[in-house]
């Protein structure tokens, strides 16, 4: 029998420099650092999030303090940097506080839907057969509704309220995420490395966590990140329809709704909250594109 | 081919049934007794039971569903709680008005999106491409209800050029092909077209760029085919994808119009649903959603079938 | 039992206990009447018309311990399905697999899980066989870890095995699959199979995607590892030269069935089934005088959904006669060579073919 050590490549020449294997996520981070647009968007989002979190600390005024004397003051009014709303409340303060609910109702449903839809899609893709049929045909039914319509239908039937908006949007986003997770899982399952893992007699959960999940997470994550922008727009839209939080609470969509009555008197003021929705949604969209670019590499 | 179409049709049936189940469940999702909205405040228990039986609410849910489904199939969507008239009478004109708005948005948004996308896909990496990409990403990110308000501020409030709301002069809600009506249509249609235009531009760009990378395009170019002919070949190969995206976007317009209709007080389905939600008129809400989502199913079906005409490879699937 | 396989005996103790139960004379593998038909929909408005592709249709063969059995055939003949059936990656419809005297999946036999530990596979696509998200050392260590070997032990073994397949662990262990060449990746796949300390390795077109020079290196590696670890190989390939080089015996498959089995030298010198003959003569000859211009095999194999009656090869066979359409030939040893069975009427005494040898 040959001696094992003989067959090992003997390091005759000085050991070759060990290539630093940075792995997948290392590569993603590196590519992201070279993408200024994505970094800027990330910065803007971070700023909006921080402002919302630390609203009581940085807000220039009490967002609920009304003033009949100072209604609908324009941008640049002394003491009110962005003017005031229809009840004389400080616009900037309300935007900062409003970000709390708007961001929360925008991001939470996507996170919940990614968890639920991801697990469902993974199960459907990995187990196939009846499990797949049951899950995916149910998803098809929910897919058969235009997304805004489904959101309005559910939150309309449940009635106005923050929780109902969250439920409605989560239900809207589960099917698309589930579909992506299912198709990526089905693909991954057909790869020879999963077959090879099965050939070792490994337990199913082990194959899923080591070989399937890491390869499914990337595409699902990219897709989910692209939904945040949509989610923020629809969540604010529901709020704009009056289905979200109730006054006097601040929320960008609700602010648009109440200020709409004053569109002829103070058109400039009426559209300000929408700018925040727009910027946030745009930044999430661009960031998602940047992520896709950084993660979707053919290796 | 025919067989495929039939099979596709049959596959749509369970989906449609699922849709009706979801719509039926909406009423039961609503908090509280669905009866509470119809009952007078001082109703005696006997009256409550009587009305409950009259609405069929005393039967088990599956039976209620079947009864409801039977009524719906025969065109009976129930009575509006608000107006006490048949729901269908409210839905039909609303659907018509939404269709008018959606078609107008299609006419504006689809060519715009397709052309922009094609130009960008053909000049990948250039400044034009970057500009188009910026436009399309703005289109998909913008809250369209807000964009509607901005357009109102610019064209109605500041310029006074176009009306801010309604469907026709004097608040009438009949449509006619004349300038008096078209100017009412312009702002909401543009607003509604922005998102689909952005999405279409994006996917056309990606598809064209993709097709142009294929080997057969290089072969055509190497053969000395004129750029116009090469473009035709590219376009033909991109067509099925573009068609699918357009179909899906048209279907989404039906649902997406609810917010725009609210901004412009356009008397369509969105407007109807909005008022139904706040008067808790669940039969109207349910009926409208059912009609719209069945439309959605049918449009998706048509897109699928049309796609096979363009791309025979799909038929096998 | 001192002659049982023991992996790298001097460097580390076995991590997964396995013993040679049947002794050297017990075949490693006995396959009896193995069948797998894949149901397919062939249309109808309801998708209701069903039929099946007979991917593997009644296959019998044995593999002796420490031999290499080559399996050849055109693409689509069921070679790869058979490979997956052997390790129960696909469940067979019927038939039995007896691994070292123990029936797979039967009560009192060997469990599928234990079978898989002792029977490993190497696939054709070296890239798709490795998880792109795992450093290769973790891919190799996965199997042992999943079978209860401690993480640190499994990784140390994985590095050791990397060395055995000719990849310096210090340089390669932490690399990802995309940082390796095709040949290197295939070495990793071999290492991954070896890490399970298998007794039988199924190589499914394992060298087919490699450059010729790399192919030769990997073949030599396989030959050496076989000696070192006393392995048994089932070597599936469409490349007749490679099969001739590495195999002790060769099995020829056509449309899901075995048409001929024989010792490699005899089969290559005296191909007896018309299909084997055609395959062998389709090899390009180095001698210009012996080059042929007419194609040895006319046409494509028939649609596996609609198989010809009787002998499946008759539609392309120069010797086809009436009897071939009526009766399906059975694998029967040649009269003068008991270790060389062939499924052809023209070679069997009394089969009713004009060329049948006298009984």
- Whichever domain contains B117, its CATH number is 1.10.3720.10
d(CA C236, CA C229): 20
CB atoms within 10 A of CB B71: 13
Task: Tell whether B267 is covered by a domain.
Answer: yes
Q: Give the domain extent around B223.
A: 88-271
The winner for highest mean pLDDT among A160-174, B160-174, C271-285 is A160-174
CB < 8 Å to A243, chain B:
277
Q: What local confidence, expressed as pLDDT, does residue B190 receive?
A: 92
pLDDT at C178: 87
Q: How confident is the model at residue C291 (pLDDT cuts 50, 70, 90)?
A: low
- Residue B4 counted as domain residue: no
Give yes or no for A130 touching C (CB within 8 A). Answer: no
Q: How far is A260 from chain B (nearest CA, A)?
A: 8
Helix axes A267-295, A213-240, angle to 10 degrees: 170
Residue B243 located in a structural domain: yes
Q: Is B58 left (phi over 0), alpha (psi -120 to 50) or beta?
A: alpha
Whole-number CA gyration radius for chain A? 25
3-state secondary structure of A208: helix
Burial of A76 (0-12, 13-18, 19+ CB in 10 A): exposed
Rounded to an integer, the average pLDDT of C310-321 is 87
For chain C, list the contacting chains (3+ Cβ pairs, <8 Å).
Answer: A, B
**How far is residue B145's CA from residue B258's CA, in Å, rounded to a whole number?**
9
User: What's the full length of chain A, in residues?
Assistant: 299
**H-run or E-run covering C123:** none
Angle between helices C136-146 and C182-195 (to 10 degrees): 20
* Chain A residues within an 8 Å CB radius of B290: none
Closest of B7, B157, A201 to residue C196, by C-alpha: A201
B19/chain C closest Cα distance in angstroms = 22
User: Would you call C44 and B10 a contact, using CB atoms and an 8 Å cutoff?
Assistant: no
Contact in structure between B258 and B189 (CB atoms under 8 Å) = no
Domain A35-64+84-294: assigned CATH number = 1.10.3720.10
CA geometry: angle B151, B154, B158, nearest 5 deg: 145
Whether B149 and A263 lie within 8 Å, measured CB to CB: yes
> What is the rounded distance in angstroms from the CA atom of residue A10 to the CA atom of residue C143?
27
Give the span between the Cα atoms of C206 and C189, in whole angstroms.
9
* Nearest chain C CA: its distance from B8 CA (Å): 9
ipTM for the predicted complex comes to 0.86
Q: Which residues contact A139 (CB under 8 A, 6 or more apart)?
A: A120, A174, A175, A178, A179
State whether residue A6 sits within 8 Å of chain C by CB.
no
B130 part of a folded domain: yes
Determine whether the interchain pair A146/B31 forms a contact, defined as Cβ–Cβ distance below 8 Å.
no
Of B30, B23, B212, B243, residue with least CA distance to B125: B212
CA-CA distance, A16 to A11, in Å (whole number)? Answer: 9
- Is C167 close to A9, i.e. CB distance below 8 A? yes
Contact C191, C165 (CB under 8 A): yes
Which chain C residues are Cβ-neighbours of B10 within 8 angstroms?
45-46
Distance from CA of B316 to the nearest CA of C (A): 10
- Asked if pLDDT for residue A234 goes beyond 70, the answer is yes
Residue B173 belongs to some domain of the structure? yes
Q: Is position B62 within any domain? A: no
Q: A91: helix, coil or strand?
A: helix
Residue contact B254–A149, C-beta within 8 A: yes
C-chain residues near A16 (CB < 8 A): 168, 171
Task: Check B153 against A289: CB less than 8 A apart.
Answer: no
Is B297 in Cβ contact with A144 (below 8 Å)? yes
Q: Evaluate the omega torsion of the peptide bond into residue A248 and state whether it is cis, within 30 degrees of 0.
A: yes
Is residue C233 within a helix (H) or strand (E), and if so which, with residue range? strand C232-236
Structural element, H or E, at residue C241: helix C240-246
Residue B15 forms part of a structural domain: no
* Residue A140 backbone phi and psi in degrees, to 5: -55, -40
More confident residue, A119 or B239: A119
State the Cα–Cα distance between residues C117 and C293, nearest whole angstrom: 48
User: Cβ of A241 and B146 within 8 Å?
Assistant: no
Q: A137 pLDDT exceeds 80?
A: yes
For residues A269 and A249, what is the distance between their CA atoms, to the nearest angstrom? 18
| Residue numbers in chain B where pLDDT is lower than 50 | 316-317
- Which candidate, B75, B70, B71, B64, places its Cα nearest to that of B27? B64
Neighbouring-strand partners of residue C119: C200
| Per-residue buried b or exposed e for A248-283, using 16+ beta carbons within 10 Å of the residue's own CB | ebbbbbbbbbbbbeebeebbebbbbbbebbbebbbb
Scanning chain A, the segments in alpha helix (DSSP H) are: 4-7, 23-33, 36-53, 55-58, 91-127, 129-143, 147-158, 162-190, 192-198, 204-207, 213-240, 252-259, 267-295
- If phi over 0 gives left and psi between -120 and 50 gives alpha, with beta otherwise, what is residue C95? left
Pick from A193, A195, A297 the residue to mutate for testing the C interface (most C CBs within 10 Å).
Answer: A193
Neighbours of A20 (CB within 10 A): 8
Size of interface A-C (CB pairs under 8 A): 122
pLDDT at B110: 92
Helices (H), chain B: 2-29, 45-55, 61-73, 87-122, 127-141, 144-151, 179-212, 215-222, 227-264, 269-278, 282-310
Q: What is the pLDDT of residue B107?
A: 92
The verdict on a CB contact (< 8 Å) between C89 and A198 is yes
Q: How far apart are CA A222 and CA C273, in angstroms?
A: 56
HSE-up (13 A, CA, CB side) for residue A82: 21
Q: Is there a contact between C178 and A201 if contact means CB atoms under 8 Å apart?
A: no
When divided into structural domains, chain B yields a total of: 1
**Cβ(B143)–Cβ(A102) below 8 Å:** no
Structure tokens at A257: 């709704």
With CB atoms and an 8 Å threshold, state whether C46 touches B3: no
| Domain chopping of chain A, boundaries | 35-64+84-294
Q: Do the Cβ atoms of C142 and C149 come closer than 8 Å?
A: no
| Residue A167: pLDDT band with limits 50, 70, 90 | very high
Cβ-in-10-Å burial (0-12, 13-18, 19+) of A175 comes to buried
pTM for this one? 0.82
B189 found inside a domain = yes
> What is the b/e burial string over C237-261, where b = at least 16 CB atoms within 10 angstroms of the residue's CB?
bbebebbbbbbbbbbbbbbbbbbbb
Residue A201 has pLDDT above 60, yes or no: yes
**Helix, coil or strand: residue B249:** helix
Output the pLDDT for position C186. 93
CB contact C48 to B (< 8 Å): no
CB-CB neighbours of A3 under 10 Å:
12
C125 pLDDT band, cuts 50/70/90, is confident
> What is the DSSP-derived secondary structure letter of residue B158?
I
Enclosing H/E stretch for C51? strand C50-63
Over 80: is that where the pLDDT of C48 sits? no
Nearest chain C residue to A204 by CA distance is C146
CB nearest to C228's CB, from A1, A200, A202: A1
Tell me the mean pLDDT in the region C83-99.
89
Of all residues in chain A, what percent carry a pLDDT higher than 90? Answer: 39
CB B108 within 8 A of CB B314: no
Site from A2, A3, A4 to mutate, C interface, most C CB atoms within 10 angstroms: A4
Measured CA to CA, the distance from residue A103 to residue A277 in angstroms comes to 9
Measure the CA dihedral B1/B3/B9/B12, to 10°.
Answer: -100
- pLDDT for the residue A18: 46
Lowest-confidence region among A247-256, B143-152, C150-159, C254-263: A247-256
Residue A253, CA distances (Å) to A106, A165, A250, C223, C226 in order:
11, 12, 9, 71, 71
- Name the percent of chain C lying above pLDDT 70: 88
CB atoms within 10 A of CB B70: 10
Question: Of C221, C192, C236, C199, nearest to C78 (Cα)?
Answer: C236
Among A60-69, C33-42, C145-154, whose mean pLDDT is lowest?
A60-69
Stretch among B157-166, B188-197, C123-132, C272-281 having the lowest mean pLDDT: B157-166
Contacts of C142 in chain A (CB under 8 A): 197, 200, 202, 210-211
Q: Which of C130, C217, C160, C166 is nearest to C11 (CA)?
A: C160
CA geometry: angle C199, C203, C209, nearest 5 deg: 155
| Total residue count of chain B as it appears in this document | 317
Task: For residue range A177-195, list pLDDT tens digits in order.
Answer: 999 999 999 988 888 899 8
**Are A269 and A72 contacting, i.e. CB atoms less than 8 angstroms apart?**
yes
* pLDDT given at position C295: 62
Do A192 and C125 count as a contact with CB atoms less than 8 A apart?
yes
Ramachandran bin of C140, using left for φ above 0, alpha for ψ from -120 to 50, beta for the remaining angles: alpha
**Minimum CA–CA partner of B2 in chain C:** C45
Helix axis angle for B2-29 and A147-158, nearest 10°, is 20
Q: Which residues in chain C have Cβ-Cβ distances shorter than 8 Å to B6?
A: 45
Q: Do B10 and C46 touch (CB under 8 A)?
A: yes
Mean pLDDT computed over C286-309: 72
């Amino acid at each position: 029998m040959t001696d094992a050590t003989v067959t090992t490549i003997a390091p005759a020449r000085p050991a070759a420099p060990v290539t630093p294997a940075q792995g997948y996520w290392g590569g993603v981070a590196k590519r992201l650092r070279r993408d200024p647009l994505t970094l800027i968007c990330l910065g803007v989002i971070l700023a909006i999030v921080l402002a919302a979190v630390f609203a009581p600390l940085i807000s220039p005024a009490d967002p609920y303090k009304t003033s009949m004397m100072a209604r609908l003051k324009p941008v640049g009014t002394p003491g009110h940097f962005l003017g005031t709303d229809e009840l004389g409340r400080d616009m900037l303060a309300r935007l900062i506080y409003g970000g709390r609910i708007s961001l929360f109702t925008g991001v939470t449903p996507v996170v919940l839907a990614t968890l639920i839809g991801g697990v469902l899609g993974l199960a459907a893709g990995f187990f196939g057969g009846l499990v797949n049929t049951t899950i995916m045909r149910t998803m098809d039914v929910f897919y058969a509704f235009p997304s805004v319509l489904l959101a309005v239908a559910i939150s309309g039937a449940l009635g106005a309220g923050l929780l109902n908006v969250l439920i409605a949007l989560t239900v809207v986003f589960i099917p698309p995420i589930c579909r992506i997770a299912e198709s990526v899982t089905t693909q991954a399952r057909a790869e020879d490395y999963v077959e090879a893992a099965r050939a070792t007699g490994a337990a199913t959960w082990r194959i899923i966590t080591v070989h399937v999940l890491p390869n499914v997470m990337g595409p699902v994550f990219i897709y989910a990140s692209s939904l945040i922008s949509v989610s923020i727009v629809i969540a604010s839209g529901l709020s704009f329809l009056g289905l979200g939080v109730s006054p006097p609470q601040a929320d960008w969509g609700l602010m648009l709704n109440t200020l709409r009555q004053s569109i002829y008197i103070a058109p400039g003021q009426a559209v300000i909250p929408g700018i925040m929705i727009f910027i946030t949604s745009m930044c999430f969209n661009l960031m998602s594109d940047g992520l896709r670019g950084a993660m979707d590499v053919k290796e | 081919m025919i067989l495929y179409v039939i099979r596709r049709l049959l596959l749509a049936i369970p989906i449609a049934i699922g849709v009706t189940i979801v719509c039926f469940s909406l009423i039961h999702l609503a908090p509280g007794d669905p009866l509470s909205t119809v009952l007078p405040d001082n109703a005696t228990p006997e009256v409550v039971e009587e009305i409950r039986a009259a609405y069929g609410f005393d039967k088990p849910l599956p039976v209620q569903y079947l009864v409801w489904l039977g009524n719906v199939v025969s065109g009976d969507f129930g009575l509006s709680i608000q107006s006490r008239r048949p729901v269908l009478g409210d839905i039909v004109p609303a659907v018509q008005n939404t269709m008018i708005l959606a078609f107008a948005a299609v006419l504006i948004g689809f060519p715009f999106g397709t052309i922009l996308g094609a130009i960008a896909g053909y000049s990948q990496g250039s400044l034009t491409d970057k500009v188009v990409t910026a436009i399309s990403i703005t289109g998909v990110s913008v809250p369209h209800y807000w964009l509607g308000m901005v357009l109102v501020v610019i064209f109605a409030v500041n310029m006074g050029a176009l009306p801010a709301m309604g469907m026709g002069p004097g608040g009438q809600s009949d449509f006619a092909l004349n300038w008096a009506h078209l100017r009412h249509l312009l702002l909401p249609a543009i607003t509604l077209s922005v998102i689909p235009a952005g999405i279409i531009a994006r996917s056309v760009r990606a598809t064209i760029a993709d097709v142009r990378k294929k080997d057969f395009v290089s072969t055509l170019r190497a053969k000395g085919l004129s750029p116009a002919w090469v473009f035709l070949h590219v376009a033909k190969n991109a067509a099925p994808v573009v068609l699918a995206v357009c179909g899906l976007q048209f279907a989404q317009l039906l649902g997406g119009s609810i917010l725009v209709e609210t901004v412009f007080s356009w008397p369509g389905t969105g407007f109807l649903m909005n008022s139904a939600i706040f008067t808790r008129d669940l039969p109207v809400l349910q009926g409208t959603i059912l009609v719209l989502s069945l439309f959605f199913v049918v449009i998706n079906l048509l897109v699928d079938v049309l796609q096979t005409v363009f791309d025979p490879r799909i038929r096998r699937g | 039992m001192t002659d049982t396989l023991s992996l790298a005996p001097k460097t580390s103790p076995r991590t997964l206990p396995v013993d040679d139960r049947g002794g050297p004379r017990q075949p490693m593998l006995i396959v009896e009447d193995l069948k797998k038909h894949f149901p397919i929909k062939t249309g109808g408005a309801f998708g209701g018309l069903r039929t099946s592709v007979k991917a593997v249709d009644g296959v019998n063969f044995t593999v002796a311990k420490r031999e290499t059995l080559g399996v050849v055939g055109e693409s689509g003949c069921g070679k790869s399905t058979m490979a997956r059936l052997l390790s129960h990656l696909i469940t067979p419809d019927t038939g039995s697999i007896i691994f070292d005297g123990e029936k797979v999946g039967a009560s009192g036999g060997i469990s599928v899980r234990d079978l898989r530990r002792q029977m490993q596979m190497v696939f054709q696509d070296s890239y798709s066989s490795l998880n792109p998200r795992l450093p290769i050392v973790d891919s190799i260590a996965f199997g042992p870890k999943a079978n209860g070997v401690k993480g640190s032990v499994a990784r140390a073994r994985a590095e050791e095995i990397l060395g055995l397949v000719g990849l310096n662990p210090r340089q390669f262990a932490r690399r990802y699959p995309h940082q390796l060449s095709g040949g290197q990746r295939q070495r990793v796949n071999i290492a991954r199979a070896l890490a399970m300390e298998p007794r039988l390795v199924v190589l499914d077109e394992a060298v087919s995607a490699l450059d010729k020079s790399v192919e030769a290196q990997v073949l030599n590696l396989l030959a050496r590892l076989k000696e070192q670890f006393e392995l048994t190989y089932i070597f599936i390939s469409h490349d007749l030269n490679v099969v001739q080089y590495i195999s002790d015996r060769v099995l020829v498959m056509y449309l899901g069935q075995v048409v001929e089995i024989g010792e490699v030298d005899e089969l290559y010198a005296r191909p007896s089934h018309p299909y084997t003959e055609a395959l062998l003569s389709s090899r390009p000859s180095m001698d210009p005088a012996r080059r042929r211009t007419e194609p040895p095999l006319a046409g494509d194999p028939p649609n596996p959904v609609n198989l010809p009656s009787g002998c499946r090869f008759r539609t392309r066979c120069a010797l086809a006669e009436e009897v071939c359409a009526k009766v399906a030939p059975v694998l029967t040893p040649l009269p003068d060579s008991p270790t060389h069975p062939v499924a052809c009427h023209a070679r069997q005494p009394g089969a009713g073919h004009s060329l049948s040898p006298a009984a």
